[in-house]
């Protein structure tokens, strides 16, 4: 049996206990502060050598986050995000269609703008729409949470855990592999989620109306020049993702990857826009600090040998049986994401899979981890950071939703979605 590093284990458990406690009203430490404290404790208590702590930080992930947060901040400052949402609603003729378009539209945006960022920016828009549609804010907030969670499944840039998998697993062509394996089940999951939520909230939708929707989309644009710059930039970045994937598919190698393409987009924004300081200040630097700290905490925890020891007593993923492996990975993702939240869980589980001998050639296993850990975020409030962000933003404005109501909707949505993912991966 490997020797356990009890210092690393103790710090890790304290960090995640504090993350759970932060959801209580009397505990107000931000999640990035808790994770930063854990990383500093790991270093100062010698749970991890300083050089190893530095090396554990995946700069590709950090570059990507800085790049995408810059673009989304520009979109938000210009009013482009609100404009896009209002344009989606403008197409609808009934509350039911508006509800469907909110789920579909938020899902589509989350696939490329990252769900945590969209949760931060879109929550105030949903609260405003709920007043105009004369519907309980909870209905649109939970629809937003489910939509951005499910929509972020099928790209490596839709959420942080997918990005970790894309850049750490060794998958040869992450962008196209995500699309190939996860786009079909995602589309089915979005449809199923809409149908379930429409039935679940049928009474609320029956009393809603669109006659109070009086905002013109064009009025949402606060800075037309910045809106054009950010719109062109996000199109360039999305095209860049496809180009990088295509060139690698054709066998060409370069220094360009998801992180450098996103950073290119940020560079364009800062070079062209005159509001560069406002954009820089609008970036959620707390999330950047969270990820830097997360890499250090998870690396130190991995070096504690607790997870390796734990895996010897319980069924683990097996290279010899793909069906069993997919089932183990999916089940572990759904259950453990509720305790660790999906990003920290994936950061640790990647190391477990690599230690078990899985490489970039085991694409379906990594897709199972990405899909299941993301869909698991729709089960409980604690399952995904985006849920917590939505709740925090809503509570700051005097609204919100309860744990039990989210859980009821989460069970109804997540169980069939997980089954859909499993069936697609088994069959195809």
Over residues 211-265, the pLDDT tens digits come to 656 667 788 899 999 999 999 999 999 899 888 878 877 777 778 888 899 999 9
User: Is 413 in contact with 195 (CB distance < 8 Å)?
Assistant: no
Instruction: Flag whether pLDDT at 190 surpasses 80.
Output: yes
Closest C-alpha among 75, 46, 65, 77 to residue 289 = 65
| All residues at 6 or more sequence positions from 196 whose CB lies less than 8 Å from its CB, including other chains | 409, 412, 413, 416
Q: What is the pLDDT of residue 372?
A: 96
**Exposure of 136 in the CB half-sphere (CA atoms within 13 A):** 14
Alpha helices in 57-91 (DSSP H): 59-78, 80-91
Model pTM? 0.81
d(CA 236, CA 230): 10
Cα 63 to Cα 69: distance, rounded to the nearest angstrom: 10
Using pLDDT thresholds of 50, 70 and 90, give the confidence band for residue 313.
low
CA atoms of 4 and 182, how far apart (whole Å): 38
- Which helix (H) or strand (E) segment holds residue 288: the answer is helix 285-303
22-66 confidence digits (pLDDT tens): 655 566 777 788 889 999 999 999 999 999 999 988 888 888 889
Contact 95, 139 (CB under 8 A): no
> By three-state DSSP, how is residue 398 classified?
coil
Q: Kindly tell me if the per-residue pLDDT of 184 is higher than 80.
A: yes
Per-residue pLDDT, 340: 67
Residues 6+ apart with CB under 8 A from 31: 19, 22, 286, 290, 385, 388
């Amino acid at each position: 049996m490997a020797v356990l590093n009890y210092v690393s284990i103790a710090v890790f458990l304290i960090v995640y206990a504090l993350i759970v406690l932060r959801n209580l009203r009397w505990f107000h430490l931000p999640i990035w502060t808790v994770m930063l404290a854990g990383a500093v404790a790991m270093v100062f208590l010698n749970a991890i050598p300083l050089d190893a702590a530095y090396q554990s930080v995946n700069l590709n992930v950090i570059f990507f986050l800085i790049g995408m947060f810059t673009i989304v901040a520009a979109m938000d400052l210009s009013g482009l995000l609100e404009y896009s949402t209002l344009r989606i609603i403008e197409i609808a003729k009934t509350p039911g269609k508006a509800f469907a378009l909110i789920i579909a539209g938020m899902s589509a945006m989350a696939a490329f703008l990252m769900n945590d960022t969209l949760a931060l920016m879109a929550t105030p828009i949903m609260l405003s729409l709920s007043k105009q549609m004369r519907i309980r804010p909870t209905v649109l907030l939970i629809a937003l949470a489910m939509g951005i969670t499910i929509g972020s499944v099928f790209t490596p840039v839709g959420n942080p855990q997918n990005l970790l998998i894309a850049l750490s697993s060794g998958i040869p062509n992450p962008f196209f592999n995500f699309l190939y394996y996860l786009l079909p089940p995602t589309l089915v999951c979005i449809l199923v989620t809409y149908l379930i939520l429409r039935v679940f909230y049928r009474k609320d939708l029956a009393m809603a109306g669109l006659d109070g929707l009086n905002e013109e989309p064009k009025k949402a644009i606060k800075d037309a020049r910045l809106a054009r710059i950010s719109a062109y930039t996000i199109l360039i970045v999305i095209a860049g993702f496809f180009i990088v994937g295509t060139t690698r598919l054709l066998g060409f190698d370069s220094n360009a990857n998801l992180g450098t393409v996103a950073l290119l987009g940020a560079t364009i924004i800062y070079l062209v826009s005159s509001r560069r300081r406002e954009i820089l200040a609008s970036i959620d630097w707390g999330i950047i600090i969270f990820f830097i700290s997360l890499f250090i905490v998870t690396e130190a925890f991995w070096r504690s040998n607790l997870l390796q020891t734990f895996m010897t007593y319980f069924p683990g993923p097996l290279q010899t049986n793909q069906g069993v492996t997919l089932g183990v990975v999916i089940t572990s993702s759904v259950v453990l994401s509720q305790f660790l939240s999906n990003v920290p869980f994936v950061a640790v589980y990647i190391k477990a899979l690599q230690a078990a001998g899985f490489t970039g050639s085991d694409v379906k296993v990594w897709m199972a981890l990405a899909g299941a850990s993301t869909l698991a975020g729709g089960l409980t409030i604690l399952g995904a950071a985006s849920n917590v962000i939505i709740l925090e933003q809503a509570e700051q404005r005097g609204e919100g939703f309860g744990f039990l109501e989210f859980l009821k909707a989460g069970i109804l949505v997540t169980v069939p979605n997980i089954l859909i993912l499993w069936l697609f991966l088994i069959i195809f």
